[in-house]
Every structure is written in structure tokens, then in C-alpha cells.
Amino acid sequence: MALDTTLRLLSKASGLTVVDIATAIPRAGVSTVNAWLRGEKLPGKDQVDALARTFGVPAGALLSELASTLDPARTKGEHDLLAAYRSLNTRQQGALLEVARSMQPSRKPAR
């Protein structure tokens, strides 16, 4: 799940407003927190640590998606494909995987 989505869910679950979050995070005003929640900006390391403390979750829970989003080994197409896959329901994901597997070149058996 994208960092902005995670932050919105944590905010809703914890009952914290944008003002509450901004007050708890160093060097983050309301406009910055709003930008994080809209996915327009990313928090810095210290801010991620503060967000994790604010919501009572490990920083890794916030960073796992962020790290995969910023993975330089993935092409834009791979990022787009992953985002599309994550937006599907379980049945659709299974169907997409079947299509992808059917497109792989067949491997010759080892001798």
C-alpha cells in the first residue's frame, strides 16, 4: 500500500487530525502533512521516525512501500504494473498472474 494511503488509514484509525499530526512531527506544518496524505510529498527520515512514533507502528511498516516505490532496479512500467495489480481484487490478481505466466517463454527441460 502506498505511503499516503497508509498514513490516511493510520490517521483515521487513530482519530488524529492533520493538525494533531503536524504538531507531533518536527518541521512539518499542516500544509506539509496534507501533501504527504495526498501523495504529493514524501517525509524525510526524521519525519518518518516521528510519524511511526505518533501512530505507534514500526518505521519499517511505513518504509516498506516507500522503499519499493523508490527501488531503482524497477522500471516505470514495473511500478505501474505493481500499482495496477494492487488495485485489483484477489480473483483479478489471480487471473492477471495466469495471463503473465502464460506469456513467459517455455523452458526446455534440463538434460
- What residue ranges define each of the domains in the chain, with the CATH number in brackets? 3-69 (1.10.260.40), 73-111 (no CATH)
| pLDDT band for position 1 (cuts 50, 70, 90) | low
Measured distance between the N- and C-terminal CA atoms of the chain, rounded to whole angstroms: 43
Phi and psi of 41, rounded to 5°?
Answer: -140, 160
Element housing 9 (H / E): helix 3-14
Model pTM above 0.75: no
User: Which pLDDT value is given to residue 102?
Assistant: 92
Angle between helices 59-69 and 45-55 (to 10 degrees): 140
Q: Exposed (0-12), middle (13-18) or buried (19+): which is 55, by Cβ within 10 Å?
A: buried
Q: What is the average per-residue pLDDT within 19-38?
A: 92
pLDDT at residue 108 above 70? no
Indicate if the pLDDT at residue 44 is higher than 80.
yes
Residues 58-94: pLDDT tens digits?
Answer: 888 787 766 666 666 667 778 778 778 888 889 998 9
